């Protein structure tokens, strides 16, 4: 499929530009995705016609914005197949969502000697909150090993999750290795031992159908900006029964039912967890981004990205001196692909690619323990989305080869 046959690329105006005199090829979608014109227009439309604070005015604009804000919540509910709309809490993003779980459920349920189980491939935002909770509560933080392909290893999960385990928290899709972890099976294990299952969906929800009832996870965290929406808006899904038992972590307006002089009654879900003026425009526009994704269909997005990986991964593996991390079988690899070129720092590789117009990320990808586990200090990473074409994949391969040639006599 060439650029002309990808029906979606043209919807993203930012992609139609030159970088260093070359066509921009944006392959940093795991960091953040670009926005289609319709979503960009929705931001302007909201602030041009409907902007008002929510849940507190009887005037027409306040009613309009409140209605759209709550409609967006229902769109997100259906998108991840949550049972109730009050299980969808607006947050700032995945990091915020995970911190809320740690500060509320974690603080209330973890005691000395309890275990929290994560894995070696977690993003810092699904690691540091649990690490700090474990330190504070004198609990034990345990790491599940990865198998040879980089998947969270189920056999090791069976050993690490015990009757002392209270919380298990795992990335659905790794932002470095591109693996889809067996979170449904791990949730089952967690539940057999009476623990709750948290899924970090930052890299899965934008790319594949995610059904929280099917996964039977207790919590799911994800970010709007990685799925065509604006920055500063994200979602915390939690099972209603658990959220109802949990205390809010932020206090102020919106999250109260009645404030007495010396005590306060909390508001109902989901507002109990949404103190202060929320990101009204962000939430509404995220709902519109969900509409755009639904119009294509998440199955179709997943299948298209699979075809891109089928096409590009063997070509990358063929480049002499290039090490690709994660599975080498394209069927096991999602569209996040990390690699290193022999004798070249990944920052130099990424700078070389930028000279060819190709945007990739280089660094530790907020996963320093994983870098240590892999025995590297950093990697370069190309991450595709459905608006990337097979031509983009070819350009990446050519640009890596060109960069290799450029640096062949060393970097100094
Ligand atoms: N979890 C995973 C698996 C992620 O990939 C990220 C962001 C986060 C959590 C945090 O999301 P945030 O929206 O709250 O920042 N990952 C990346 C990345 O790979 N490059 O930049 C951000």
| Beta carbon of 77 within 6 Å of any ligand 1 atom | no
Q: Is the pLDDT of residue 1 over 70?
A: no
* Residue 155 DSSP one-character state: H
Nearest CA to ligand 1 atom 11: 94
Fold of 40-295: 3.40.640
| Beta carbon of 203 within 6 Å of any ligand 1 atom | yes
Those residues with Cβ within 8 angstroms of residue 119's Cβ, 6 or more apart along the chain or in another chain: 143, 144, 145, 146, 152, 170, 171, 181
Which CATH architecture is the domain 3-31+297-410 placed in?
Alpha-Beta Complex (3.90)
* Candidate from 170, 180, 366 with most ligand 1 atoms within 8 A of CB, to mutate: 366
pLDDT tens digit sequence for 342-372:
999 999 999 999 999 999 999 999 999 999 9
Tally the residues of the chain. 412
Q: Ligand 1, residue 172: give the atom nearest the CA.
A: 3
Nearest CA to ligand 1 atom 22: 31
Please, are residues 63 and 69 in contact by the beta-carbon 8 Å criterion? no
200-205 mean pLDDT: 99
* Residue 152 DSSP one-character state: B
Instruction: Return d(Cα 410, Cα 154) in angstroms, integer.
Output: 42
pLDDT tens digit sequence for 13-70:
999 999 999 999 999 999 999 999 999 999 999 999 999 999 877 899 999 999 999 9
pLDDT tens digit sequence for 375-387:
999 999 999 999 9
pLDDT tens digit sequence for 392-410:
999 999 999 999 999 986 6
Nearest C-alpha neighbor of 91 from the set 275, 322, 307? 275
Tokens of 197: 């299952």
- The residues carrying an active-site annotation are 366
- Residue pointed to by tokens 């099972």: 239
Tokens of 67: 């209605």
Average predicted confidence (pLDDT) for the chain: 97
Q: Ligand 1, residue 96: give the atom nearest the CA.
A: 14
Global model pTM greater than 0.95: yes
Tokens of 396: 């990446």
Instruction: Return d(Cα 392, Cα 388) in angstroms, integer.
Output: 6
Nearest CA to ligand 1 atom 16: 31
Tokens of 365: 């990808």
Q: How far is the CA of 405 from the centre of ligand 1 (A)?
A: 32
Q: What are the residue ranges spanned by the domains of the chain? A: 3-31+297-410, 40-295
- Nearest 5°: the CA angle 255, 257, 259 is 95
Nearest CA to ligand 1 atom 17: 31
**In the structure, what pLDDT confidence band is assigned to residue 186 with cuts at 50, 70 and 90?**
very high
Instruction: Return d(Cα 190, Cα 194) in angstroms, integer.
Output: 6
Q: Is the pLDDT of residue 185 over 70?
A: yes
Please, are residues 328 and 83 in contact by the beta-carbon 8 Å criterion? no
| Beta carbon of 179 within 6 Å of any ligand 1 atom | no
Nearest CA to ligand 1 atom 6: 202
* Residue 385 DSSP one-character state: -
Q: Which residues pair with 88 in a beta bridge?
A: 237
Helix (H, G, I), strand (E, B) or coil at 180: strand
Please, are residues 348 and 392 in contact by the beta-carbon 8 Å criterion? no
3-31+297-410 and 40-295 have identical folds: no
pLDDT tens digit sequence for 295-336:
999 999 999 999 999 999 999 999 999 999 999 999 999 999
* Candidate from 92, 97, 198, 203 with most ligand 1 atoms within 8 A of CB, to mutate: 203
């Amino acid at each position: 499929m060439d650029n002309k046959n990808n029906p979606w690329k043209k919807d993203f105006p930012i992609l139609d530009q030159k970088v260093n005199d070359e066509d921009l090829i944006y392959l940093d979608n795991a960091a953040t995705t670009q926005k289609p014109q319709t979503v960009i227009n929705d931001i302007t439309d909201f602030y041009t016609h409907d902007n008002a604070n929510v849940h507190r005015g009887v005037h027409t604009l306040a009613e309009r914005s409140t209605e759209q804000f709550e409609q967006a919540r229902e769109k997100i509910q259906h998108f991840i197949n949550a049972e109730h709309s009050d299980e969808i809490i607006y947050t700032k993003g995945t990091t915020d969502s995970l911190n809320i779980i740690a500060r509320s459920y974690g603080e209330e349920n973890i005691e000395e000697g309890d275990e929290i189980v994560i894995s070696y491939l977690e993003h810092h935002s699904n690691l540091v909150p649990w690490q700090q909770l474990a330190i504070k509560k004198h609990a034990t933080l345990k790491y599940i090993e990865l198998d040879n392909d980089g998947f969270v290893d189920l056999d090791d999960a069976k050993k690490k999750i015990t009757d002392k385990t209270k919380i298990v928290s795992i990335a659905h899709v790794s932002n470095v290795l591109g693996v889809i972890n067996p979170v449904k099976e791990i949730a089952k294990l967690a539940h057999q031992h009476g623990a709750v299952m948290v899924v970090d969906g930052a890299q899965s929800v934008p790319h594949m159908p995610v059904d929280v009832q099917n996964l039977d996870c207790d919590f799911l965290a994800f970010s709007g900006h990685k799925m065509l929406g604006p920055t500063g808006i994200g979602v915390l899904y939690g099972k209603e029964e658990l959220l109802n038992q949990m205390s809010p972590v932020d206090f102020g307006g919106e999250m109260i039912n009645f404030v007495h002089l010396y005590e306060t009654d909390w508001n109902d879900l989901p507002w109990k967890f949404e103190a202060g003026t929320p990101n009204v425009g962000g939430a509404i526009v995220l709902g519109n981004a969900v509409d755009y994704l639904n119009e294509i269909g998440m199955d179709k997005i997943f299948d298209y990205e699979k075809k891109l990986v089928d096409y590009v991964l063997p070509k990358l593996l063929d480049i002499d001196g290039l090490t690709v991390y994660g599975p080498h079988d394209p069927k096991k690899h999602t569209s996040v692909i990390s690699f290193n070129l022999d004798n070249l720092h990944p920052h130099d590789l990424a700078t070389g690619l930028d000279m060819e117009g190709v945007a990739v990320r280089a660094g530790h990808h907020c996963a320093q323990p994983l870098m240590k586990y892999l025995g590297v200090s950093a990697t370069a990473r190309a991450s595709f989305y459905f608006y990337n074409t097979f031509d983009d994949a070819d350009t990446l391969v050519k640009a890596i080869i060109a960069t290799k040639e450029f640096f062949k006599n060393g970097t100094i």
